[in-house]
């Protein structure tokens, strides 16, 4: 599997240490298809978006798809699949081992997907992937589901 930076930015950009997008922006179609953001190291929000709960781990994905919903996830997965790219997936971002991000990959960031539905009659809850345990607990405790 070819790394995202090499495949999308070319070896010359990598050897210079600045994998910036060229005029033929290979991520443009993906960026246009997302309701959320697509960040690369050239974006001011990139460093904040790649931070993990465990600050001792420093991963640098080549791009971060900050998904706003299921359609964004589908677009990002299809893009990665059609371009034979490595992928990492981030939910709440608090995995102590830092497995949510991978160097030189397309990071699919689900942290904005905070939908949570509690059904007190069925004593169940459904949560989207960006919901943290604290958020889940806060919503379910009032129904005595924890």
The residues spanned by each domain of the chain are 4-109, 114-146
pLDDT at 140: 95
Instruction: Going residue by residue through the chain, which has 146 residues, state the pLDDT in tens, using 9 for 90 and above.
Output: 445 555 555 544 444 444 444 445 678 989 999 999 999 999 999 999 998 888 888 999 989 999 999 999 999 999 999 888 999 999 987 778 888 899 999 999 999 999 999 999 999 999 999 999 999 999 999 898 87
What is the pTM for the complete model shown?
A: 0.79
- The dotted CATH code for 4-109 is 3.30.43.10
pLDDT at 96: 80
Q: Note the pLDDT of residue 76.
A: 97
Give me the pLDDT at residue 18, please.
40
Q: Which pLDDT score, from 0 to 100, does residue 68 have?
A: 97
Q: What is the 3-state secondary structure (H, E, C) of the chain?
A: CECHHHHHHHHHHHHCCCCCCCCCCCCHHHHHHCCCEEEECCCCCHHHHCCCCCCCCCCCCCEEEECCCHHHHHHHHHHHHHCCECEEEECCCCCCCCCCCCCCCEEEECCCCCCEEEECCCCEEEECCCCCHHHHHHHHHHHCCC
């Amino acid at each position: 599997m070819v790394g995202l930076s090499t495949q999308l930015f070319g070896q010359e950009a990598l050897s210079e240490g600045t994998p910036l997008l060229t005029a033929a922006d290979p991520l443009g179609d993906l960026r246009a298809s997302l309701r959320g953001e697509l960040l690369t190291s050239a974006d001011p929000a990139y460093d904040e978006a790649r931070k993990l709960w465990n600050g001792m781990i420093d991963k640098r994905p080549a791009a971060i798809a900050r998904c706003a919903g299921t359609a964004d996830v589908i677009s990002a997965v299809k893009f990665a699949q059609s371009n034979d790219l490595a992928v990492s997936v981030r939910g709440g971002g608090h995995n102590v081992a830092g497995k949510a991000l991978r160097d030189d990959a397309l990071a699919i960031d689900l942290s904005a997907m905070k939908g949570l539905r509690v059904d007190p009659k069925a004593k169940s809850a459904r949560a989207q992937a960006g919901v943290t345990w604290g958020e889940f607990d806060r919503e379910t405790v009032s129904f005595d589901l924890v």
